[in-house]
Amino acid sequence: MSFYRAAIRELRPTLRLAAPITAGQVGQMLMGVTDTIMVGHVGTLALAACAFGNNVLMVVAIAGFGVLTAVSVRVSHAHGAGVAHAMARAYYAGVGLSVIGGLLCALGMHLIYPLFHHLGQAEGVVEQAEAYTIIVAWSLIPAWLTATARNYLESQSRPWPAFWIMFGGVLLNVLLNWILIFGHLGAPALGLAGAGWATLISRVVTFVAMTAFVLMGSSAPSERWKPDREWWGEQVALLRLGIPTGLQLLSEVGAFSVAALLIGRLGAVPLAAHQIAITCASTTFMFPLGVAMASTVRIAQALGAGRQDLLRPIGAGALFIGLVVMSAFTVILVAAGHLIARGFVSDPAVIAIAAQLLVIAGIFQLVDGVQVVASGLLRGLRDMNAPMWITVAAYWFIALPLGSWLAFGRGQGAAGMWVGLAWGLVFAAVLLVVRFLRKTRVDPQKV
């Protein structure tokens, strides 16, 4: 009975931390949603090109965000232990990784984009997506810098400032989309490229505001940045901790991106439908992701403070929150899939396929919520390698092979691909929860 009381007691602080983190994550995701909705009114080909560009960039972006979760773990652990200088080092090292990694990725996109013409996409998709993809690739630098600052604040249980700043960035993105996509207020109508410029500008403004708040606020780092050996050493420590998480997220998002490329071989209409469904599923995913990020912070803070007795109660509360939230989204997506699809595009063929995919997405919401929260709990325990391999196996040895067979071998099209992805999520959810239960039987610092 004491365990259940402890789990209920830990629900409130987890919710208090998760609410603004989730809101911030949803706000960040809404940039992609607004791009999709507004570009959808330009035409089906533009929407398919937006889907192509976003799926290419999402692989790189999410991998970078995964690596930067190490900032959250390092700062949370140092905060729990009361070591201020370690918190400052982790923040500045995250800034360095964001700039270096962002430059490499943006320059790399310029070099490799010509290769995308050989991926067998529908006619005109790759050509129309080029400007949008290149522009948004450069926006990864401010996006990752913003994530570093946000992780630093949230790890000190101060998530609300990050939320309000990111919310302002979303509103700016909507306004700039309206101006640059359709050519309002005297601006040229840039179409899909306008959405790219809107994303870049809004992310730069968000980064400037977030960084200014960190450096000039009450949570400012306790020491100034110094490009010394400790700074480089902290970057190495972040990479060691963050690369497994980055690879874990890369394998998941990469699987969805490969699925999108395979669906693209079926034509522009199925790809546009997939973009609508993945946009909705990715948006709902931000809610349990926020819970996962909060649970990472709380688990790491408990470890830093030497409170191993709180680990399982925190985990049980976080998993319960994730299940409740995703149950609600399951009902919404299953019951209103057709209505949601109509909000994105007017093409009846796209709406019909998208509505079918949204029903499948609704069904796997529950296991998706469980697997992402369990991953967050394990990150807080600094257990990175096993979750990475579990995710790789789930998506690349189960989800994609099964989905490809159903889509092409059984003629089920885009729906078959999504069914395969759903079974991969089930596999990951079960193994990650079992892993967390096993790791919390003993002192996590000794295993």
**Runs of H (alpha helix) within 305-395:** 311-342, 348-363, 365-380, 385-392
The residue among 202 and 32 whose pLDDT is bigger is: 202
pLDDT digits (tens, 9 = 90+) for 61-70: 878 888 888 8
Average pLDDT on 234-251 reads 85
Could you report the per-residue pLDDT of 343-377, keeping only the tens digit for each?
Answer: 877 788 888 888 888 888 888 788 888 998 999 89
Give whichever of 45-49, 126-130, 319-323, 341-345 has the largest mean pLDDT: 319-323
What mean pLDDT do residues 279-288 have? 82
Phi first, then psi, for residue 36 (nearest 5°) are -65, -45
Q: What is the pTM of this model?
A: 0.75
- Residue 369 is given by DSSP the state H
List CB contacts of 170: < 8 A, sequence separation 6 or more.
27, 28, 30, 31, 34, 202
Q: Is the pLDDT of residue 305 over 50?
A: yes
Q: How far is CA 151 from CA 8, 163, 239, 276, in A?
A: 26, 11, 15, 29
More reliable by pLDDT, 441 or 119: 441
Q: What is the mean pLDDT of residues 304-327?
A: 85
User: 415, 416, 394: which is closest to 404 by C-alpha?
Assistant: 416
Q: Residue 143 corresponds to which tokens in the numbers above?
A: 């996006």
Gap between the Cα atoms of 328 and 343, Å rounded: 20
Q: Using the predicted structure, report yes or no on whether residue 443 has a pLDDT greater than 60.
A: no
Least Cα distance to 350 among 34, 121, 44 occurs for 44
The pLDDT of 194-221, averaged and rounded, is 89
Residues 374 and 436 sit within 8 Å (Cβ to Cβ): yes
